[in-house]
Amino acid sequence: MREVLDFFKNLFSNDDFRSFWSYGDWTSFHSWFYMIGDFLLWSAYMVIPMFIVSYALKNGKTFKDNKLYFQFALLVCLCAMTFFVDALMFWSPMYRLDALVRFIAGAASWVMVFYVMRNVSKAFSIRTGEEMQEEIESRIEVEKELKLKNEQLQEAERLAKIGYIKWDVINEQIEFSDSVPELLEVDRSRVLDYQNLLNIIHPEDAKQLEKVIDTIFIRKFFPNFYCRIILPNGDIKHLFVVGQVLLSAGGAISVVKGTIQDATEQRLYIQRIQAQNQALKDIAWIQSHKVRAPVASILGLIQLFNKEDLSDPTNSEVLEGIEEAAHTLDDVIKEINAKTEEDKENGGSAAE
């Protein structure tokens, strides 16, 4: 233990040693050739870590981000110091300092060995510049494809008049595609919460929306439904909503998501078909009830007409009855025509 204390106490002392000049047969050329070699190694070894550290810091890397670079730079510095001290030994025989520097450099070298052995797989996984360039180009191509597909998807949503909406119940956040504000004809910065939806939904459909929400939270099921909204210009737009409820591991509702589609044309077409069907039913009822009565009257009166004796006074009464039945039949035909024209007008307005 005393030797250790004496070693560090006399670390920079050189009284008990002789310099390289003091022993051996050193020629001037040999000694300076030796020292210049040491100084060259020392200077080169010092430049390498300085370059590594400056490059790493310039690229925003810290010691924590990449320990291997900084540990290697430190090891090179320690090795450089061994050559520097060795060159100084020609003038100052600091053998203790030389031994300490060599010991520290040797210990650091073995630390580096174990670190490299532990991280050799990561070291070999570092890609070359060409591989990085290939990956960058590949990612650029992928990004272009994703951008193209996203544009195509947005175009498809616009043509189909459909939008996607997601309600994160837990975090109370609503996400939606770009086409949703366009469908609802509201400002994109407007928050699509329940109150704002009530402001644009048709008053007659507000209770239906409440029932749908009750069904979602009570039965944890999303029933598809139609509803109407009132546009800023006062027009009515029909929407068809299809959704799905996602539950958490505990069975609670976590997400409600679905699609909103403009179904105005479809709903108006259905209403037109329903109106036409009703008109056909009305016409069929008129034909089966109102037309049959005057036709039956005419047929019956014809049977009473005396063809053998045209001067029969009964014939005049029969003709009067036929005339009256004919007028009744004419009124029924006019009613049928009116129903047909009404159906055309309803169909035309529905189509618009």
CB atoms within 10 A of CB 54: 11
- How far is residue 341 CA from its own chain's centroid? 52
Reported as a pLDDT band with limits 50, 70 and 90, residue 287 is: low
155-164, 175-184, 254-263, 269-278: lowest mean pLDDT where?
269-278
pLDDT of residue 352: 41
pLDDT digits (tens, 9 = 90+) for 48-94: 888 877 777 776 655 555 667 777 788 888 888 888 888 877 777 77
Query: What is the C-alpha radius of gyration for the chain, rounded to an integer number of angstroms?
Result: 50
Q: State pLDDT tens for residues 220-231.
A: 999 999 999 998
* pLDDT higher than threshold 80 for residue 257: yes
Count the residues in the chain: 352
The predicted pLDDT at position 239 comes to 92
Is pLDDT larger for residue 261 or for residue 123?
261
* Mean pLDDT taken over the chain: 80
The 3-state DSSP class for residue 162 equals strand
Q: Which residue has the tokens 């272009």?
A: 144
Name the band, by pLDDT with cuts 50, 70 and 90, for residue 243. very high
The conformational region for residue 172 under phi > 0 = left, psi -120 to 50 = alpha, else beta, is left
Level-2 CATH architecture, domain 165-262: 2-Layer Sandwich (3.30)
Q: What span, in angstroms and rounded, lies between the C-alpha atoms of 148 and 156?
A: 12
Q: How far apart are CA 268 and CA 86, in angstroms?
A: 98
Residue 347: pLDDT band (50, 70, 90) is: low
Domain ranges in the chain are: 2-125, 165-262, 268-351
Q: How far is the C-alpha of 135 from the C-alpha of 57, rounded, in Å?
A: 25
Q: Which residues contact 8 (CB under 8 A, 6 or more apart)?
A: 96
Distance between CA atoms of 271 and 336, rounded to whole angstroms?
21
Q: Which residue has the higher pLDDT, 96 or 215?
A: 215
Q: Report the C-alpha gap between 258 and 207 in whole angstroms.
A: 20
- The answer, yes or no, to whether residue 127 has pLDDT greater than 70, is no
Name the residue with tokens 């699509």.
192
Q: Which of the pair, 207 or 344, is modelled with greater confidence? A: 207
At 99 the pLDDT is: 85
For 33, 91, 94, 331, the CA distances from 101, given in Å and listed in that order, are 23, 18, 11, 124
Per DSSP, 128 falls in state P
Q: Reply yes or no on whether the pLDDT at 349 is more than 50.
A: no
Give the span between the Cα atoms of 320 and 298, in whole angstroms: 11
| Residue 221 and residue 215 in contact, taking contact as beta carbons nearer than 8 Å | yes
Coil, helix or strand at residue 230: strand
Element (H, E) at 351: helix 313-351
Q: Could you report the per-residue pLDDT of 200-214, keeping only the tens digit for each? A: 889 989 888 889 889
Distance CA 227, CA 210 (A): 12
What the block records as the tokens of 140 is: 């650029």
pTM: 0.47
161/6: higher pLDDT: 161
